Amino acid sequence: MTDATTTGAAPAKLVIERVSKRFPMKGGREILAIEEASFTVEENEICVILGPSGCGKSTVLRMIAGLETPTTGALRLDGSAIAGPDRERGMVFQAYTSFDWLSVRGNVEYGMRINGVPKDERRERAQRYIDLVHLAGFEDAYPAQLSGGMKQRVAIARTLANDPALLLMDEPFGALDAETRWHMQELLVAIAEAANTTTVMVTHDIEEAIFLGDRIVFMSAHPGRVHRIITPEFKKGRRYASKEAVLDLPGYSALEKEIMGLMREQGGKDQH
Ligand SMILES: Nc1ncnc2c1ncn2[C@@H]1O[C@H](COP(=O)(O)OP(=O)(O)OP(=O)(O)O)[C@@H](O)[C@H]1O
């Protein structure tokens, strides 16, 4: 396991250090959702959190977002403790979260408007991100007129327009059909390259994790622990614009099978 505190190199952008999370239950009992999770995310990296249902992926992401507080342990972004939600950490959820009463442009400009960004700059920055997510021509459309994939692109553009230090995504493509989903995955690679984002994304889709992840944090369930940190070595540190290119690489199938094995082993724990 890599840990910024032990590598001797500059500290990682995001450091999750021995984080545990207990939730109170009825009758005064508690559930240990996350136990001593540690991992790091480097600048410009796409880190994917993968694991069986209920292993605590969303809880870890919500702690990074500052929406949950760890019971013990520490989370640091750029050296500072994460203590509550902040616009330096932008979150995209699975559910469409656009404002129905605002146009695409209105949605993308919303955060900047709240933050007092002057109109000209707001317009220019919104257009840059609308172009980046291929929604040029739809600036004046309303969410109800858009497909699911387009709505998620609005959410991504709106989040990026706030210029967050971290882009957090919780199963962002989970509600999309298969074809739209892989287009969105490819778009996310293009965005990461163009906007130099540092991204932490939760998924339970192995193919998505291998295609997108520069690093994959595989969690085990009950309690949620970091079981393995996987670097898809066969990609040789590269990102690929097309999904087929990755599926065709030697080494892809072996890693997919390995992760399927982990998923079966960890996801099946409840059934034994
Ligand atoms: N607010 C909460 N109160 C009580 N328990 C919670 C709360 N949030 C999460 N949990 C529990 O913590 C564990 C981890 O949940 P979490 O949603 O983080 O898992 P997940 O891996 O994201 O699941 P999935 O893949 O099904 O979305 C589960 O046992 C869940 O029931």
- CATH code that applies to domain 4-86+165-271: 3.40.50.300
Question: For position 8, what pLDDT does the model report?
Answer: 59
Least confident piece of the model among 36-45, 81-90, 160-169, 240-249: 81-90
The yes-or-no verdict on residue 6 having pLDDT over 80 is no
The yes-or-no verdict on residue 89 having pLDDT over 50 is yes
Strands of the 89-92 sheet, one edge to the other = 89-92, 166-170, 199-203, 46-50, 215-220, 225-230
The pTM of this model reads 0.92
CA of residue 224 to ligand 1 center, whole Å: 9
Which atom of ligand 1 lies nearest, measured to the CA of 25? 4
The yes-or-no verdict on residue 17 having pLDDT over 80 is yes
pLDDT, one tens digit per residue, over 22-34 is 999 888 899 999 9
Burial of 4-23, coded b for 16+ CB within 10 Å and e otherwise, reads: beeeeeeebbbbbbebbbbe
Check: CB of residue 89 under 8 Å from CB of residue 61. Answer: no
Nearest CA to ligand 1 atom 18: 56
Which atom of ligand 1 lies nearest, measured to the CA of 224? 14
Q: Is the dihedral of CA 49, 187, 98, 159 positive or negative?
A: positive
The yes-or-no verdict on residue 150 having pLDDT over 90 is yes
Least confident piece of the model among 7-11, 147-151, 225-229: 7-11
The domain limits of the chain are 4-86+165-271, 89-163
Side chain identity, residue 246:
V
The yes-or-no verdict on residue 116 having pLDDT over 80 is yes
Neighbouring-strand partners of residue 75: 16
Which atom of ligand 1 lies nearest, measured to the CA of 219? 21
Least confident piece of the model among 79-83, 91-95, 120-124, 206-210: 91-95
With residue 201 as reference, give the H or E element that holds it. strand 199-203
Which atom of ligand 1 lies nearest, measured to the CA of 171? 27
ipTM comes to 0.96
Q: How far is CA 91 from CA 85, 165, 171, 194, in A?
A: 10, 11, 11, 19
Question: For position 56, what pLDDT does the model report?
Answer: 94
76 lines ligand 1 (CB under 6 A): no
pLDDT, one tens digit per residue, over 198-254 is 999 999 899 999 999 999 999 998 899 999 999 999 999 999 999 999 999 999 999
Candidates 25, 78, 64; CA nearest to 217 is 64
Question: Which of 25, 29, 48, 58 maximizes ligand 1 atoms within 8 Å of its Cβ, making it the mutation to test the pocket?
Answer: 58
